[in-house]
Amino acid sequence: MTGSMIDLTVNQEAHGPAVYLKTFGCQMNELDSELVRGHLKALGYQFTDSREQAEVILFNTCSVREQAENKVWSRLGQLGQEKEAGRRVIVGVMGCMAEREGVALMKRMPQVDLMCGPGELDRLPMLIDNAMHEEIIEYPSRVALQGNSSRRSATLAAAEDGLEQLDLSRAFDPNLGESGGRTAHVRITRGCNKFCTYCVVPHTRGAEVHRPPADIIEECRKLADQGVLEITLLGQTVNHYVYIHGAAVGSDGVEKPQVGPGLAAFRKPDRGAAGKRVTTFADLLEGIHEAVPSIKRLRFVTSYPRDFGDDILSVMRDCPRICRYLHVPVQSGSDRILKLMNRGYTVEQYEAFIERAISYLPDVSIAGDIIVGFPTETEDDFEMTRQLIERIPFKNNFIFRYSPRPGTTAITRLEDDVPEAVKKRRLNELLDTQGKVSERVHAGWVGKHVDVFVEKEGQTATGNSGRIQLGWQQPKVQVSGRTQGDLITVFDLPEGYSAQEAIGKILPVHVQSSGPRLLRGNLASAEPINS
């Protein structure tokens, strides 16, 4: 579209434009979309599940995996054809893909009317308004990216503007949430300082910015007041959270988000803030646990293994509502590959951490991430990764084939020299190995009682959702959920008990059998634990 004005004023006194929002990516992206949805709704925008009926189409994107990006390019191509055929619609790209590609994306895809990076989401309503009511000639009025703005500079008061308020003023919609709207995510940090060679996050989300602990606790309290029972704290590296009080105070006297210290600070007892009051991640966990007792489960992702202190493990052990679950990516079982990835630890250090975690938390569940087929990975490197999976009691691993990502160090310095056929073979072998390990881990829970947070109606052996009909018998309803350790568990409800009655409740279950993916059990009591 060039030079034409778009008028989408559809009886604005009654309602705002209809928005279709599609999210591609991780939990961070999902949370960003939730915040955007709440912000736009507060301004009168309507949301629709129909792309065809939308007047504004927004794609919230991720650049970590190639597959997610390819889906976005495909959908943008479809919209380009529709707009050439005469459809009048505003198209926007949000998130990491927008930040990484910059205005080059709009030049490649002229059907895109606006772009907004993950650090500029509070400016999205202005961008939409510009696209709807201004003649579109220049890029600046419809682009908000960290890369072309000094507003999000690496200062101590990193979110002096409205970005922090986007989290604090979130309009949580329980009807859109999982587990009957009883679970939610809360961001504690933005960005990342590690610069792993395969990762785009430091380049698209910027340096680590740590939110004030009082703001985080207040957000958790508000969510609890709306009926949320489970909160997951989010950050690229949650255990690097540290807040130095008094270092970032606004003109109103209120503490503001601040850029996190360098990684070296986490290897110092005082976190690089001698003589100052400091809130560490362990302090934050304990603070939320004590301040918001109505939160029945508190979990977090993702952790960095090298700098995971005993103080965090002690808090997890002593605070019963903090989940016994650790998502700690290892990425490779080869020290040589880990060094090329710039991970900052060895396999020995990773295994030492896992041993330490199990000593504090014998019932802990461990999950990880692994990249297969990283540049120069040999069969010996691969075999070391496979053996590492066999040695550690991973409940699961998220295993991916390496794909070079534009903007990363790896794509510029390392040749993608592992053939795709080899990557695929190694991926399947690792999946097979992990399946056997998962089966062994799950089998260890047979005969035990677990508390299950019910999420949805289950799938039965007949293929019918949630119901088994056995002759004259009343149909049984099956539901599924997760234990404190994030183990998927399925069980039947008693006669007369509907799935909707169970979803969003924590129920006691006796585990009777297991498989590589889940536990199966019987309801120990129909009385919910959170009643």
The number of residues in the chain equals 531
pLDDT in tens, the chain (531 residues): 333 333 333 334 436 899 999 999 888 889 999 999 989 998 999 999 999 999 999 999 988 778 888 999 999 999 999 999 999 999 999 999 999 898 899 999 999 999 999 989 999 999 999 998 765 555 678 898 876 443 444 444 444 556 788 888 787 776 666 666 799 999 999 999 889 999 989 888 888 999 999 999 999 999 999 999 999 999 999 999 999 999 888 888 889 999 887 766 766 767 667 778 999 999 999 999 999 999 999 999 999 999 899 999 999 999 999 999 999 999 999 999 999 999 999 999 999 999 999 999 999 999 999 999 999 999 999 999 999 999 999 999 999 999 999 889 999 999 999 999 999 999 999 999 999 999 999 999 999 999 999 999 986 433 344 444 444 455 689 999 999 999 999 999 988 889 999 999 999 999 999 999 999 999 998 677 665
Which residues have C-beta within 8 Å of that of residue 463, sequence separation ≥ 6? none
Do 289 and 414 lie in one domain? The reply is yes
pLDDT at 407: 86
User: 253 lies in a domain?
Assistant: yes
User: 528 lies in a domain?
Assistant: no
Do 143 and 169 lie in one domain? The reply is no
User: 432 lies in a domain?
Assistant: yes
Strand-pair partners of 325: 365
- Is the pTM higher than 0.75? The answer reads yes
What 3-state class would DSSP assign to 242? Answer: strand
Residue 22 · residue 97 · CB < 8 Å: no
Do 436 and 488 lie in one domain? The reply is no
Tokens 């039947």 — which residue?
A: 492
User: 517 lies in a domain?
Assistant: yes
CATH number, position 75 = 3.40.50.12160
Do 454 and 493 lie in one domain? The reply is yes
User: d(Cα 523, Cα 409) in Å, to the nearest integer?
Assistant: 51
498-514 confidence digits (pLDDT tens)? 999 999 999 999 999 99
Which residues have C-beta within 8 Å of that of residue 232, sequence separation ≥ 6? 27, 183, 184, 185, 186, 299, 300, 301
pLDDT at 162: 63
User: d(Cα 244, Cα 237) in Å, to the nearest integer?
Assistant: 17
pLDDT at 157: 46
Final residue in a domain of this structure, among 443, 471, 490: 443
Please state the domain count of the chain: 3
Contacts by residues 403-408 (CB-CB < 8 Å, ≥ 24 positions apart)? 403/65, 403/66, 405/63, 405/64, 405/66, 405/198, 405/199, 405/200, 406/63, 406/100, 406/200, 407/63, 407/100, 407/200, 407/203, 407/204, 408/197, 408/198, 408/199, 408/200, 408/203
pLDDT at 209: 92
User: d(Cα 12, Cα 44) in Å, to the nearest integer?
Assistant: 8
Final residue in a domain of this structure, among 409, 443, 477: 443
265-315 confidence digits (pLDDT tens)? 766 767 667 778 999 999 999 999 999 999 999 999 999 999 899 999 999
The strand order across the sheet containing 258-259 reads 189-190, 209-210, 258-259
Do 436 and 461 lie in one domain? The reply is no
Do 215 and 103 lie in one domain? The reply is no
Query: Which of 369, 237, 385 has the alpha carbon at shortest distance from 306?
Result: 237
pLDDT at 173: 73
User: 186 lies in a domain?
Assistant: yes
User: 156 lies in a domain?
Assistant: no
Residue 338 · residue 346 · CB < 8 Å: yes
User: d(Cα 243, Cα 299) in Å, to the nearest integer?
Assistant: 19
Q: Extract the tokens encoding 214.
A: 């009082």
pLDDT at 474: 55
Do 238 and 266 lie in one domain? The reply is yes
Do 188 and 292 lie in one domain? The reply is yes
pLDDT at 15: 66
Do 411 and 476 lie in one domain? The reply is no
User: 1 lies in a domain?
Assistant: no
Do 367 and 422 lie in one domain? The reply is yes
Do 369 and 417 lie in one domain? The reply is yes
User: 85 lies in a domain?
Assistant: yes
CA 146, 398, 177, 187 torsion-angle sign: negative
Domain that holds residue 494: 449-523
Do 262 and 384 lie in one domain? The reply is yes
Final residue in a domain of this structure, among 148, 179, 210: 148
Q: What is the phi-psi region of residue 110: left when phi exceeds 0, alpha when psi lies from -120 to 50, beta otherwise?
A: alpha
CATH number, position 357 = 3.80.30.20
Which residues have C-beta within 8 Å of that of residue 276, sequence separation ≥ 6? 244, 245, 246, 247
